[in-house]
Amino acid sequence: MAEVVLENICKTYGNSFKAIQNLNLEIADGEFLILVGPSGCGKSTALRMIAGLEDITSGHLYIGGRDVVDMAPKDRDIAMVFQSYALYPHMTVFENIGFSMRLAGKKKAERKQRVDEIAKTLQLTELLDSKPANLSGGQRQRVAMGRAMVREPAAFLMDEPLSNLDAKLRVQMRAEIASLQRQLGVTTIYVTHDQTEAMTMGDRVAVMKGGVLQQVDTPKRLYDAPVNAFVAGFIGSPSMNLFEAELSRGTLQAPGFALQLPDTVLSERPALRGYDGRKIVFGARPEDLYDSTLASGRDHQAIPAEVVTVEELGSEHVVHLRLDAVPVDSGDPDAVEELGGLSNAVARFEPASDVHARSRIDVAVDCSKLHFFDPETHLAIR
């Protein structure tokens, strides 16, 4: 087990494309850090650089206090779980898990003892003589974990290990990996583009975009206090609704409605006063928009909206709305335009709500929960 430190790590390809720019991260001993971001943000490249599978153009990388920039992958004391699992198809589960020990010249008895221990932990004992082709997705995933565990590494590196599993199995394996990591206490860096995995598995989450680290924080802090509109839009599903408005004497003025900000909002964010009379970006999480007919007792203001469609999920209704306001792009390249542009906001209503498509309703907004961003830099206003 060890601390992993990335110091000003850069990766530039031959065509001068900068995949990673000045990445600084300190991952504590035993910590579970999630690297998350949209496609092409550099998260997998960063992980592969830590593994030694990609050269580091500049910067320092310390694993357990040793600078490992010039070391081969095998000498870095890490183990990696690949997105495709990368199991050796011609080897049995036993041979796959014990391969690194075989290469290290360990005796068969020693290998057998260690592989058996790991197989027991991962419930693979019955499958030790099977080939990967005869295993299910979840079993393959566990073999890949076993192959990483057998090395007793200082750090685990995991590159989207659940992306090939079906939704149900993914939820199960998510919990298994998180619990296994806590049980083993090994420093783990886990790459994913799935922000649900990011929010549920890690101690901290590092959000990347375009090769640049945006924010590293606990899942709760990322959700509650995103540093910019990108993090605000990327973290959370459905995404935060972002709109343009003019701030005038504590009132947000959008084309079709106005929202009076409570004094607490203004006092908690002194920088907001500097935006008086100027354009501003404000964001509302879907769960902070309510069905006004059910919002009794809550401190809210109502704005008119048209219901475009309703997704009834049982525990909640995901309601796609059209508000008379100008939406703002968070900068997430993977974001899908809301229903082909018909709607521009998403709300989560209680299942008791009986709103239906093509109706006009009043949506209640909890203004104390709004987020504010600079319209130019997209940085959070606090």
For residues 28 and 3, give the distance between their C-alpha atoms in angstroms, rounded to a whole number: 5
CB of 142 to another protein, least distance (A): 16
For residues 94 and 129, give the distance between their C-alpha atoms in angstroms, rounded to a whole number: 6
* Residue nearer to another protein on the CB measure, 27 or 51: 51
* Residue nearer to another protein on the CB measure, 78 or 364: 78
Longest C-alpha distance within the chain, in Å? 77
Ramachandran quadrant class, 296 (left: phi over 0; alpha: psi -120 to 50; beta: rest): beta
CB of 144 to another protein, least distance (A): 9
For residues 379 and 229, give the distance between their C-alpha atoms in angstroms, rounded to a whole number: 6
* Residue nearer to another protein on the CB measure, 89 or 340: 89
The closest alpha carbon to 345, from 222, 263, 238, 195, belongs to 238
* Residue nearer to another protein on the CB measure, 79 or 201: 79
* Residue nearer to another protein on the CB measure, 38 or 52: 52
CB of 51 to another protein, least distance (A): 6
* Residue nearer to another protein on the CB measure, 60 or 74: 74
* Residue nearer to another protein on the CB measure, 83 or 163: 83
CB of 103 to another protein, least distance (A): 5
CB of 84 to another protein, least distance (A): 6
Enter the tokens of residue 129. 């003589």
CB of 79 to another protein, least distance (A): 7
Residues 6+ apart with CB under 8 A from 20: 9, 10, 11, 42, 45, 46, 49, 211
For residues 173 and 348, give the distance between their C-alpha atoms in angstroms, rounded to a whole number: 27
Q: CA 152: distance to chain centroid?
A: 26
Three-state secondary structure readout of 16-43: CCEEEEEEEEEECCCCEEEEECCCCCCH
DSSP run (H or E) holding 246 = strand 241-248
* Residue nearer to another protein on the CB measure, 86 or 265: 86
CB of 114 to another protein, least distance (A): 14
DSSP run (H or E) holding 326 = strand 326-327
CB of 149 to another protein, least distance (A): 13
Site residues, another protein (CB under 8 A): 51-53, 72-74, 78-80, 82-84, 86-90, 99-100, 103-104, 147, 151
Buried b or exposed e, range 223-235, using 16+ CB within 10 angstroms:
beebbbbbbbbbb
For residues 97 and 115, give the distance between their C-alpha atoms in angstroms, rounded to a whole number: 6
